[in-house]
Amino acid sequence: MLRLGIIGAGGIASTVLSALSAELPAPLRSLDLLVRPGREVEGEALLAGAGGLAAERRVHAALEPFLAQAPDLVLECAGHGAVRAYAEAVLRAGRDLVVVSVGALADPALHDRLRAAAREGGARLVLPAGAIGGIDVLAAARASGLEEVSYIGRKPPRAWAGTRAEGLLDLGGLTEPATFFEGSARDAARDYPQNANVAATVALAGAGFDATRVRLVADPGIARNQHELVVRSAAVNFTIRLEGRPSAANPKTSLGAGYSVAREVLNRVAPVVL
Ligand SMILES: NC(=O)C1=CN([C@@H]2O[C@H](COP(=O)(O)OP(=O)(O)OC[C@H]3O[C@@H](n4cnc5c(N)ncnc54)[C@H](OP(=O)(O)O)[C@@H]3O)[C@@H](O)[C@H]2O)C=CC1
Ligand SMILES: O=C([O-])CC(=O)C(=O)O
């Protein structure tokens, strides 16, 4: 029986809990939530909806008591700031960590620190596919030699509200698709921390942060978040396009991201891993 820890009490955490409620073959041993100080009420509300998932459920507002529960697996579902604040300590404590805010690893110093912490703590840093697909084929094809890896993220204008795109476009007045970013996955992940984590996942699976090309588009003609991945390699060429329904809690996030995190938990308890 798994002791599960989750950092964050927003849309992805909520999707993870509902997916686990539907799919876990047996209850968790315990479920611990780490929230920001002052956000305990939101944490309790999230846990209240996960009644059948674990008999022992606790909300913490500091890392130390959270880690004292010795979770077998911790899911970061909170954002780049949370990766910077907690990931190294979680891994050093020997706790396996699933990071969904993959774009935080565009900072090479942080990426190095997390790799070292995982090694020294005897823990694993797990990067889920999140809202994108094709990561399995890309990561496998890398060994054959990659010729091109590019990612295009298209979202409705409201998904770009509160980001740098707001200063580059009149988001409310768009009548046709507008590209507002073209560049490396490193710059995309850094400049759009709530919208370009999948660009970082593609980069880490394939050609790296600097060689992976990214285009970001605000499109008033779509209702779903579209992710397009184009790969050319010596072994296989492919183009994949996903249309993700936005999370009700956060239009920047595709619902599929939370299900992908839940899958990492299910693979920890299932006799067959897929
Ligand atoms: N890999 C992928 O495909 C994707 C990755 N993401 C990543 O996932 C993150 C979460 O997405 P989503 O759930 O939709 O976002 P939400 O804004 O719905 O939820 C984020 C939650 O995390 C909390 N939080 C933020 N910082 C901390 C912290 N330092 N300690 C504890 N809690 C914290 C927030 O609290 P508060 O309200 O107090 O800020 C909020 O409850 C995104 O920011 C992004 O980095 C998102 C989409 C796809
Ligand atoms: O959920 C999505 O559509 C993708 C996303 O926000 C991200 O990669 O950060």
274 within a domain of the structure (yes/no): no
Which residue has its alpha carbon closest to ligand 1 atom 28? 82
Q: Is 269's pLDDT higher than 90?
A: yes
Question: pLDDT (tens digit, 9 = 90+) per residue, 129-159?
Answer: 999 999 999 999 999 999 999 999 999 999 9
Same domain for 197 and 97? no
Same domain for 258 and 123? yes
Same domain for 121 and 141? no
- Centre of ligand 2 to C-alpha 252, Å, is 6
Q: Which residues contact 40 (CB under 8 A, 6 or more apart)?
A: 59, 61
Angle at 249 between CA 155 and CA 170, to 5 degrees: 35
108 within a domain of the structure (yes/no): yes
- Centre of ligand 2 to C-alpha 160, Å, is 11
Question: pLDDT (tens digit, 9 = 90+) per residue, 37-89?
Answer: 999 999 999 999 888 999 999 999 999 999 999 999 999 999 999 999 999 99
**What is the per-residue pLDDT for 51?**
82
Same domain for 184 and 155? yes
Which ligand has the minimum distance to the alpha carbon of residue 201? 1
**CATH code for the domain of 176:** 3.30.360.10
Same domain for 258 and 175? no
Same domain for 116 and 7? yes
60 included as an active-site residue: no
249 within a domain of the structure (yes/no): no
CB of 244 sitting under 6 A from ligand 2: yes
Same domain for 112 and 7? yes
Instruction: Choose the residue to mutate in 7, 12, 132 for probing ligand 1, maximizing ligand atoms within 8 Å of C-beta.
Output: 12
**What is the per-residue pLDDT for 1?**
85
Residue 7 pLDDT grade (very low, low, confident, very high; cuts 50, 70, 90): very high
CB of 131 sitting under 6 A from ligand 2: yes
Residue 121 pLDDT grade (very low, low, confident, very high; cuts 50, 70, 90): very high
Q: What is the per-residue burial (b if ≥16 Cβ within 10 Å, else e) of 15-49?
A: bbbebbeeebeebbebbbbbbbeebeebbeebbee
Report d(CA 100, CA 261) in Å as an integer: 7
Same domain for 7 and 119? yes
**What is the per-residue pLDDT for 237?**
98
Report d(CA 256, CA 244) in Å as an integer: 6
248 within a domain of the structure (yes/no): no
Query: How many domains does one find in the chain?
Result: 2
DSSP 116-137: HHHHHHT--EE---TT---HHH
Short-list 65, 58, 59, 125, CA closest to 94: 125
265 within a domain of the structure (yes/no): yes
Same domain for 141 and 31? no
**What is the per-residue pLDDT for 253?**
98
**CATH code for the domain of 86:** 3.40.50.720
Which residue has its alpha carbon closest to ligand 1 atom 19? 10
Same domain for 102 and 67? yes
Question: pLDDT (tens digit, 9 = 90+) per residue, 162-220?
Answer: 999 999 999 999 999 999 999 999 999 999 999 999 999 999 999 999 999 999 999 99
Model ipTM?
0.98
Averaged pLDDT, 220-230? 98
Same domain for 41 and 144? no
Is 196 labelled a binding residue? no
Closest approach atom of ligand 2 to CA 103: 9
Domain housing 187 = 135-243
CB of 163 sitting under 6 A from ligand 2: no
Question: pLDDT (tens digit, 9 = 90+) per residue, 103-118?
Answer: 999 999 999 999 999 9
- Centre of ligand 1 to C-alpha 147, Å, is 33
Short-list 198, 228, 219, 226, CA closest to 156: 219
Report d(CA 20, CA 261) in Å as an integer: 10
8 A C-beta contact, residue 10 and residue 77: yes
**What is the per-residue pLDDT for 23?**
95
Helix axes 11-23, 255-269, angle to 10 degrees: 40
188 within a domain of the structure (yes/no): yes
Same domain for 239 and 121? no
